Each structure stands twice: as structure tokens, then as C-alpha cells.
Amino acid sequence: MVNDLIEKMSELEESNLFLVTNEIIPIPEKSKEKVVVLFEGHSSGVNDAVKIADCYIKKNKFDSSIVIPIDIPLLTLKEIKEIISFTRDYKEIISMVPSNRFDGTNILLRKPHSIIDTSFDDNSFFNHFRKALDNGVSLKIFYHENLKVDIDTIDDVMLALKKYHLDNSPFKMRDSEQKEVNKIENKSIEYLLNIFQNRDELGY
């Protein structure tokens, strides 16, 4: 799922991509020139990872930043471009996409990046919402269904697959839908499909 996100976001023009990780991740060849890998040493949470990227954002004087977790399998560049385009005429703004349960923040755009500290802990959507209001910052919430789907549980996996391929039963796929799956180039969906099909072996 990491490389799928990297490949999608590396096609975004006039941007730099920072990947904060504590693992060695092979970057797709076509994306290597666009991606800066920042090693955090050990995993200490999303907020600390964002702080590491913020140092490079400040150094390079970027006017905004967008935080995207790796577990948004249905993300498309079109939706990200729409969010970025909306903020172009603002000097200061926060744009967000909530998680499907409205307890998390799946997309967070800060302009400038220092306008609020991130709060990707418990109930982060409310935390970021409150910080924007407390600081008197313009706030825009996007409700893109694809971007609201993140992967925390096997139910989330099933929801992501259902949005693409499943009929009313979450356990059965029609032959035509299975053929459609085989044509999909979304590597995240292929990965999740494998988890779904092997959920018994994986203990889900």
C-alpha cells in the first residue's frame, strides 16, 4: 500500500513528497526523484513523524503541507488535486477529510504547515477541527467517500472492497466483478483483496 500511495502522489505536479518511516522501503524506480525518505529511527507516532517532515518543509519554505496516511486505499489524485486547488486563494487555511467513523483525520492540509500542530491521537478529526476554530483559521471539510475509507480492521478491508467490487453480500463476488478485480491496477486494492481472501488463515 505504501508504494501504491507513492506512485499516485509522485504524479502530483509542483510538489515534493516526504515519506517518514522507520523501515527500509524500496521506492518505485519512476518515483525515486520525487520522494525524500526521512528515517525516524523508531516509530513514535504520527505526530512526531509529521514534525520530522515539518523541519524539511520549513527549510525549503514550502507554503503548505498535506498529511496523507498510507492506509487510504481508494485515494485518487483527482481528489487530492481538488483539495489543493481549493486552498490556492487562501493565505491561511485548514482542509480536512474525516475518516468514515469521523474519529480520525484521513487527509490534513495545513497552509502554512505551522498554522496548527497535528493531533493524530484519539479522535483526531475533532482535535484538528477544534484547533482550527480556536486559532480563527479558515476551515474546509471535504467528504470524499473514497478518502474517508481507511484500514484499521478487517471490516474496513471489506468496506473498501465492497465499494469497488462487491454486491450486497460482503462475502461473495460475482464472476464479472472478479474479472474487474483482475483488471484493477490499484495495488492497494489487490493487497487488500489478498487479505480478504485469506482472512481465515490470518486469524480475522
- Let me know whether 106 and 188 are in one domain: no
How high is the pLDDT of residue 44? Answer: 78
Mean residue pLDDT of the chain comes to: 84
Stretch among 57-71, 99-113, 179-193 having the lowest mean pLDDT: 179-193
Q: How many helices (H) and strands (E) does the chain have?
A: 9, 6
Same domain, 110 and 135: yes
Neighbouring residues of 69: CB distance < 8 A, sequence distance ≥ 6: 46, 106, 150
CATH code at 8? Answer: 3.90.550.10
Range of the domain at 127: 2-148
Confidence of residue 6 (pLDDT cuts 50, 70, 90): confident
78 and 115 together in one domain: yes
Among 28-37, 44-53, 130-139, 167-176, the minimum mean pLDDT is found in 167-176
Residues 7, 101, single domain; the answer is yes
**Residues 163 and 87 reside in one and the same domain:** no
> Using CA atoms, how far apart are residues 146 and 110, in angstroms rounded to an integer?
21
Highest mean pLDDT of the ranges 41-45, 143-147, 197-201: 143-147
Q: Do the Cβ atoms of 57 and 118 come closer than 8 Å?
A: no
On whether both 45 and 98 belong to a single domain, the answer is yes
**Contact in structure between 27 and 37 (CB atoms under 8 Å):** yes
CB atoms within 10 A of CB 5: 20
- Whether the per-residue pLDDT at 8 is higher than 70: the answer is yes
Q: Which three cell numbers stand for residue 47?
A: 505526530
Tell me how many domains the chain contains: 2
Q: Are residues 11 and 46 in the same domain?
A: yes
- Model pTM? 0.83
Instruction: Specify whether 143 is located in the same domain as 171.
Output: no
pLDDT on residue 170 = 43
> Tens digit of pLDDT for each residue in 145-182?
999 999 988 888 888 888 876 433 344 444 544 444 44
Q: Which residues sit opposite 35 in a β-bridge? A: 17
For 102, list phi and psi in degrees, rounded to 5: 60, 25
What beta strand segments (E) does 22-159 contain?
35-39, 65-67, 93-98, 105-111, 139-141
- In a shared domain, residues 170 and 113: no
If asked whether residues 185 and 129 sit together in one domain, one would say no
Whether 120 and 185 map to the same domain: the answer is no
Calpha distance 10→22 (Å, rounded): 20
Q: Would you state the cell numbers that stand for residue 193, as one nine-digit string?
A: 483483496
Same domain, 49 and 119: yes
- CA 44 – CA 52 distance, rounded (Å): 11
